[in-house]
Structure 1
Amino acid sequence: MNFVKHANIDKAKWDALVEISTCPSLYLLSWYLDATCHWDAIVWGDYEAVIPLPTKRFLFFKKLYQPIFVQKSGLCCKTNKQPTLLLKEFFNSNVPRQFSSFRMHFSHELNIPKEILPKKHKIETKKNYSLDLSQDYPSLQRQFNQNRKRNLKKARELGWKTEETYNIEHAIKMYKTHQAKKQGKLTKDVFIAIESIFKECMQRKMGKLVLCKNNTGDELSYGFFVEYHKRIYYLFGAMNDEGRKHSAISLIFNDVIRNHAGGDFILDFEGGNLEGIGNYFASFNSVVEEYPCVHYP
């Protein structure tokens, strides 16, 4: 197990590992991490297993944190490795103790025994919602709850339409105008990150920005989705007051579901810890994926 500074990370080997790992994840790709944070890494052998270490410094303090737009990171390893043994080695090393605060989210596919953690570190369970799209669209749509069906019917009656767009600047502006204040203080780094992620994903033909308009052509809502390893990540959304009133984002989700129905896809709603948001995602008949968060304090 070796600590590797960011400048010395072999990005080609890193991404090759993610591709063949036990749980390939968009969040673990080197270019995605580069778009969201400064990070160093723990590397085992010749990139047989890795852990990204997103860090921030404040005066004399260094903290390990979970970057925005990176829901889960943690351990990534080859299928012939034993994750529990790797994590035990990591948590028993001096690395976690170098940080004044520590927060790391792991894949929902990993089980982390409490006994391998340092004494002061705690583990808690977070929620994410996902929807298996392997059924045909009529079957999936029938399982939406009644409120979601009413929203979609109302949107169609109002003549609302969706279309693909590349105008991430308009989406960010809508978010800043109608949602940012409700989310608390957001730094400009948040919006720089989403623009950077958008650019990288579109260059790789992995992303899609969907816009919902009303019958007069006014913009109501945006949803940004990225597909990786048959998983469709909902990374960013925005809506104005009219779009919120009749849940325009539901029409966007419905289109994504319809366009991928019957395939070997998972729609990852990328959230759900807040009860109201979780209930909304559940209205599409999505299921909860619980994933571990290790933190100190």
Structure 2
Amino acid sequence: MIRKVKYHEIDFQKYTICLENSEQRNWYAKKEVLDELSGNWEILVYDDYKAVLPVPMKKKFGINFVIMPLFCQQLGIFSEKDDVKINDRFLQFLKKNYKVFLYSFNHCNSFSENLKTKKNYKIPVSDYVILRRKKYFKGRKSTAKCAQHLIYKEIEFNTNHIAFIEKHFKGLKKQTDVKKFRDYMSFLHDHNALKLCAAYLEEKLINVAVLVDEHTQFSLLALINDENHKTENGPSFLIDKILNNYIHEKEFNFMGSNIRGIEIFFKSFGGELQEYTYLQSKILEKLSS
């Protein structure tokens, strides 16, 4: 039996145990992360927390609707073993009882119904030398090699570096979204889950990779570039250095993308396709097309 559980009624101890023991375990479903990114959420529960599905919501014009929070890629169903029949029941319950504007399941969730998919790219823990020799595109090897005049540093989360990130961040049109990104970085920093990796041209900062630092993987939250130094190939240099330093112990999650040019960039480092399904309202489909 699946039931809806309001936030104040959630048994967070059981919820956390379910997440920790789940096959689909990911960063976004954690209580503290959803509290930060959504603020308004509840869950669907199967039996006694044998499976759970977090439901983030917003309220507009007096109507509650389901929408993925900004900077949150995948949620979905979390259970000890992914089960298509149970997933189907969650899906039908979600569609029947909520107004779904946009909801993304995780890459482990399978359904009988054919749902639309989005693309994500990840690199598993690997030997860097083998990864670079066998998986890098030829052009990416060359580009990374040509950028070796740059200097790699892991930098602090401070006022100067925040100013650089905010000045050069692309894709956030609203000032409220920029603030939300800054607040999320502060949250990550406070939870020891933020890593900032930078490329310098001599003494000048020209690129920053903003990473979510988990125990088993890095997730690329943003790649910030000073367009005045585009020809220096800082993004290729940065990703290559991060992989060189850490891919032997942590996966690298590129966090997307469905934009062709960015997708090719991720694949060129040996990123492996990992699709995930989603529900989207017809209104949002028209706006996105």
2:152–2:197 Cα contact (<8 Å) kept: yes
1:211–1:222 Cα contact (<8 Å) kept: yes
Inter-CA distance 71–169: structure 2 relative to 1 (3 Å threshold): farther
Between the aligned partners of 1:169 and 1:77, the Cα distance in structure 2 is: 41
Q: Could you say which residue in structure 1 is the equivalent of 2:147?
A: 155
**Does the alignment pair 1:105 with 2:128?**
no
Q: Could you say which residue in structure 2 is the equivalent of 1:274?
A: 259
Q: Could you say which residue in structure 1 is the equivalent of 2:58?
A: 56
Inter-CA distance 168–110: structure 2 relative to 1 (3 Å threshold): farther
Q: Could you say which residue in structure 2 is the equivalent of 1:258?
A: 244
Task: Give the AA of the match of 1:139.
Answer: I
Between the aligned partners of 1:3 and 1:90, the Cα distance in structure 2 is: 10
Aligned to 2:64, what secondary structure does the other structure show? strand
Inter-CA distance 8–170: structure 2 relative to 1 (3 Å threshold): farther
Q: What do you get for the CA RMSD once the two structures are aligned?
A: 2.3
Task: Give the AA of the match of 1:83.
Answer: D
Q: Which runs of 4+ in 1 moved over 4 A?
A: 168-172
Q: State TM-score, norm by structure 1.
A: 0.84
1:112–1:292 Cα contact (<8 Å) kept: no
1:103–1:293 Cα contact (<8 Å) kept: yes
1:210–1:223 Cα contact (<8 Å) kept: yes
Q: Could you say which residue in structure 2 is the equivalent of 1:247?
A: 233
Task: Give the AA of the match of 1:223.
Answer: A
Inter-CA distance 288–168: structure 2 relative to 1 (3 Å threshold): farther
Aligned length: 279
Between the aligned partners of 1:66 and 1:110, the Cα distance in structure 2 is: 17
**Does the alignment pair 1:167 with 2:157?**
yes
- The CA deviation string for residues 70-124 of structure 1, in whole angstroms up to 9 with x for no partner, is 1110111123xx532323323333x434444432211212212217xxxxxxx21
Structure 1 portions without partners, runs of 5+: 116-122
Between the aligned partners of 1:296 and 1:14, the Cα distance in structure 2 is: 28
Between the aligned partners of 1:184 and 1:32, the Cα distance in structure 2 is: 20
2:172–2:178 Cα contact (<8 Å) kept: no
Between the aligned partners of 1:45 and 1:213, the Cα distance in structure 2 is: 53
2:143–2:236 Cα contact (<8 Å) kept: yes
Identity %: 22
Q: Could you say which residue in structure 1 is the equivalent of 2:35?
A: 34
**Does the alignment pair 1:201 with 2:191?**
no
| Aligned residue runs from structure 1 range 181-196, under 5 A | 183=171, 185-188=173-176, 190-196=177-183
